[in-house]
Structure 1
C-alpha cells in the first residue's frame, strides 16, 4: 500500500502538519511505501498560476496519482480549509482521488471549526472522485500541546480517534504508547 500525506499548512511549525505526519506513524507497518508532500514547499508562482507544466508541480500531482491512500491535513481558517491546500487541490485532475482511500485531518483553535471538514473539505474531495473517505479527525489547539523539544503532544482521546479512523487500513494494529510521539 502506497500512502501519501499532503500538508496544506502555510506554517513551518504547524499542528496540522504534525498531525498529518503522526497519522503516518500510526500506519507504520501497513504501508509498503509512504511519502509526504508539503504544499508550502511547492513553487508559489507555479502554484498560484496553476502551472501544471512546472516540474515540481507535475511531480506533486503524479505523487497523488501513484498513491493508494491519501492523508490530507489542513488548518481551519475562517471555517474553511487552508487556501494553500485549495490551490493544490485545484491543480488535480477531476478524478484524481477516485479509487483511493482518503483520510481528512484538520486542526483549529476551537471545536467551532469542526464542521469545516464536512461542509468545506469533503465536498471538494468528493468532486475529485473520492468515494472511500475515512472518518475525519479534527483536533483543537488544546489537544495538541507544544512540546519543549519541538513537535506536539497529543491528548489520549485524539490518538484514540485517529486510531479508530485508520483502523480500516490497519485492523490488527495495536496502539503504541504515547511516549513514542
Structure 2
C-alpha cells in the first residue's frame, strides 16, 4: 500500500486549500497530514532542526512514498509558511518519493507558479518524480455553511494525478 503525506502550506484553517486537503483525506487510504500553520512558529522561523515537532513531521515525509504539496498562491509564488517548512526538510528529503503539487490561486495569471516557483525548490530537495501539478482557481472552491464545495472538474483532476501515481482512492 502506498503511504501518502500531505504538506499543507496554507496559513490558516479557513483557507480554501484546506478543502483540497479534506477531499484527499476523505478519498485516500493511508494518508497523514502536516499542517504547517500548526507547527510551532518559533521552530519554523528560527529553523530549529532539533525541534521534536519538526522531527516528527520530517519522519512522516521520510516514511512516505507520495508527498502531496498544497499551497495557496500569493504574489505569483507559493506561501512563505510552506517555504519555512521546506527549509527544514533534509537536503535529499524528497528523494525516491513522488511529489504531487497542488496550488490554489485567485487568478489564472499565476498558473505557472507551480512550474517556476515551487518545482525548483522540490527538485533541490531531491525530488526527481514530480507530477504536472494541479492549479485551482479559488472560485472553483465555494465556501458554504457546511464548509466547502469543490467543483467536480477539480476533483477529477486531483483524482487523475493520484491514480497516475498509484495512490489508492
Shorter-chain TM band: over 0.9
2:7 counterpart residue number:
6
2:85 counterpart residue number:
88
Measured after TM superposition, the shift of residue 172 of structure 1 is 8.3
2:26 counterpart residue number:
25
2:161 counterpart residue number:
165
Within the candidate set 38, 41, 44, 1:47 is matched to 44
Measured after TM superposition, the shift of residue 17 of structure 1 is 2.3
1:97 counterpart residue number:
94
Within the candidate set 138, 146, 164, 2:135 is matched to 138
CA spacing shift, 1:141–1:48, aligned 2, 3 Å: same
Give the conservation status (yes or no) of the 8 Å contact 2:5–2:34: yes
CA distance in 2, matches of 1:54, 1:100: 24
CA deviation profile, 1:5-36 (whole Å, cap 9, x unmatched): 1100112211112213323434x2xx4x2211
Measured after TM superposition, the shift of residue 164 of structure 1 is 1.6
CA deviation profile, 1:67-88 (whole Å, cap 9, x unmatched): 1111110000000000000000
Measured after TM superposition, the shift of residue 169 of structure 1 is 3.0
What count of residue pairs does the alignment treat as equivalent?
Answer: 168
CA distance in 2, matches of 1:156, 1:107: 15
CA distance in 2, matches of 1:79, 1:87: 17
CA distance in 2, matches of 1:136, 1:13: 23
1:69 counterpart residue number:
66
What is the alpha-carbon root mean square deviation over aligned residues?
1.6
Normalized against structure 1, the TM-score is what?
Answer: 0.87
SS in 2 for 1:10: coil
Normalized against structure 2, the TM-score is what?
Answer: 0.93
